[in-house]
């Protein structure tokens, strides 16, 4: 077919984001535990993580199903925990920007998280449509309301399978997948996205992710991820990006571009301690 005068179809990107500590500040498992009075939640999670019994990020799903202290969890507790989660700023602006797209670019946004689906749907009610939220799926006993099965946990490699399903459903190219996450549950999916030339964005200083993610954005605002997205897909410059933020009523202040090499350097002989060679002291001297 010859090229027609009409504009080409827009490039379609899938933008997938984690939930806990990526779109929120706190961990929904911790919020739920506090709500129902479960003790030592973080200890339980780190014990499970050490054992590698479940995929990283899938600890809460396991506890809900198997820990006696979580037996009292009902779907209404999950919805209430969602309402108590503190969200990052500007998620509505981010969703609006992605929905609107740019000339020549179309975005489909979804949330892929190991948190129970009910928690995320409640936290993002009115912001992200429920059918774009993929969380841990729980089944309830109709008689007691107790959780009786966990059909699916999008944690660790589980996130890769949800992502692949979304790409197949939307018909997007793997290199047009962008994944945003903050923690160890995102390692598999980020390696997978990188491996197929997609873009990975970390929104925390997690050391494991910092080495894997192609970009890192540290901001209280969820809208911050728009910066690497625009630079990556459309090679936008700072001035255009600032203007876009302003068009959403946001101003981009304190924008520091940094590639940080953080280190501690010690005396290799080991015995030197404080008396070791100090280049600063010798320069000053
Ligand atoms: Mg997270």
The span from the CA of 200 to the CA of 177, in Å, is 9
CA dihedral (15, 18, 21, 24) positive or negative: positive
Among 29-38, 128-137, 271-280, the minimum mean pLDDT is found in 271-280
In 3-state terms, what secondary structure has residue 260? coil
- C-alpha of residue 271 to centroid of ligand 1, in Å: 41
The arithmetic mean of pLDDT across residues 48-54, rounded, is: 92
- C-alpha of residue 21 to centroid of ligand 1, in Å: 5
- What size, in residues, is the chain? 285
Are the C-beta atoms of 134 and 153 separated by less than 8 Å?
no
The arithmetic mean of pLDDT across residues 184-211, rounded, is: 94
Q: Which of 158, 165, 136, 126 is nearest to 78 (CA)?
A: 136
**pLDDT class of 207 with cuts at 50, 70, 90:** confident
- C-alpha of residue 17 to centroid of ligand 1, in Å: 9
- C-alpha of residue 204 to centroid of ligand 1, in Å: 9
- C-alpha of residue 258 to centroid of ligand 1, in Å: 23
**pLDDT class of 281 with cuts at 50, 70, 90:** very low
pTM of this prediction?
0.88
What percent of the chain has a predicted confidence (pLDDT) above 70? 91
Are the C-beta atoms of 34 and 60 separated by less than 8 Å?
no
- C-alpha of residue 23 to centroid of ligand 1, in Å: 8
Query: What domains appear along the chain, each with residue ranges and CATH number?
Result: 11-25+86-143+151-247 (3.40.50.1000)
pLDDT, tens digit, for every residue of 56-76? 999 999 999 999 999 999 999
Are the C-beta atoms of 135 and 114 separated by less than 8 Å?
yes
The span from the CA of 204 to the CA of 220, in Å, is 10
């Amino acid at each position: 077919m010859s090229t027609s005068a009409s504009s080409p179809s827009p490039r379609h990107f899938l933008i997938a984001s984690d939930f806990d500590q990526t779109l929120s500040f706190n961990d929904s498992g911790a919020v739920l535990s506090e709500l129902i009075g479960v003790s030592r939640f973080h200890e339980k999670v780190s014990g499970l993580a050490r054992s590698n019994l479940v995929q990283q990020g899938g600890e809460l799903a396991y506890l809900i199903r198997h820990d006696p202290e979580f037996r009292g969890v009902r779907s209404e507790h999950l919805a209430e925990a969602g309402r108590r989660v503190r969200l990052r700023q500007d998620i509505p602006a981010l969703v609006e920007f992605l929905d609107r797209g740019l000339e020549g670019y179309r975005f489909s946004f979804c949330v892929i998280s190991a948190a129970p689906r009910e928690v995320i749907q409640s936290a993002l009610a009115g912001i992200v449509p429920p059918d774009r939220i993929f969380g841990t799926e729980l089944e309830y006993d109709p008689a007691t309301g107790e959780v009786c099965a966990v059909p699916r946990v999008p944690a660790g490699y589980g996130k890769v399978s949800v992502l692949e399903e979304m790409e197949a459903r939307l018909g997007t190219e793997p290199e047009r997948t962008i994944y945003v996450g903050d923690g160890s549950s995102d390692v598999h999916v980020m390696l997978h996205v990188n491996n197929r030339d997609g873009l990975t964005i970390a929104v925390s200083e997690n050391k494991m992710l910092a080495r894997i993610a192609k970009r890192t954005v540290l901001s209280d605002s969820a809208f911050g991820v728009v910066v690497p997205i625009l630079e990556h897909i459309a090679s936008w410059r700072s001035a255009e990006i600032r203007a876009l933020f302003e068009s959403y009523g946001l101003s981009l202040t304190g924008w520091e571009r940094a590639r940080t090499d953080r280190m501690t350097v010690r005396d290799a002989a080991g015995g030197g301690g404080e008396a070791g060679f100090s280049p600063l002291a010798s320069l000053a001297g």
